[in-house]
């Protein structure tokens, strides 16, 4: 399985929309067999999605992400786990060992828990819901 993380130094990049580097990791069993840092243009999510598909990446982990790039990436059948923060190696370690990366690595201040997860991970809500405030506004409407 190939996973990509937006990174800033050794940390998950806090904002996808301004991320400049992607860490692409190949995982076999419970072992990371390859790591590759790739420069990206996060302002062109269609090109990024195409590159990820060409690299056979199936999962993207990132920090905060706007609605448009999230939809573009998900429309390309990429699984997206947004609003993650922290040390990229620790996030990868949890992922490799089958541990949930939420809520441990959920961005500070985000109270979404599993409410906003992409439905392809652990049966959460439908994709496209990105923000706690939006979720509660929709719910109240």
Per-residue pLDDT of the chain (141 residues; tens, 9 = 90+): 999 999 999 999 999 999 999 999 999 999 999 999 999 998 999 999 999 999 999 999 999 999 999 999 999 989 999 999 999 999 999 999 999 898 889 998 776 544 444 433 444 434 444 444 333 333 334
Tell me if 98 sits within 8 A of 122, measured CB to CB: no
Which domains, and CATH codes, for the chain?
A: 2-109 (3.30.420.130)
pTM over 0.75: yes
- Is residue 68 packed enough to be buried (19+ CB in 10 Å), middle (13-18) or exposed (0-12)? exposed
Question: Given this model, what pLDDT does residue 111 score?
Answer: 60
């Amino acid at each position: 399985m190939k996973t990509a993380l937006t990174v800033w130094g050794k940390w998950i990049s806090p904002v996808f929309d301004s991320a400049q580097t992607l860490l692409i990791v190949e995982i076999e069993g419970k072992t990371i067999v390859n790591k590759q840092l790739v420069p990206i243009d996060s302002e062109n999510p269609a090109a990024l999605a195409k590159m990820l598909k060409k690299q056979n990446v199936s999962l993207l982990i990132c920090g905060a992400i706007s609605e448009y790039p999230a939809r573009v990436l998900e429309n390309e059948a990429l699984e997206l786990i947004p609003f993650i923060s922290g040390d990229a190696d620790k996030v990868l370690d949890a992922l490799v060992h089958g541990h949930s990366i939420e809520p441990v690595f959920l961005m500070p201040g985000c109270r979404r828990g599993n409410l906003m997860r992409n439905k392809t991970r652990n049966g959460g809500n439908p994709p496209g819901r990105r923000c706690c405030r939006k979720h509660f506004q929709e719910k109240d409407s």
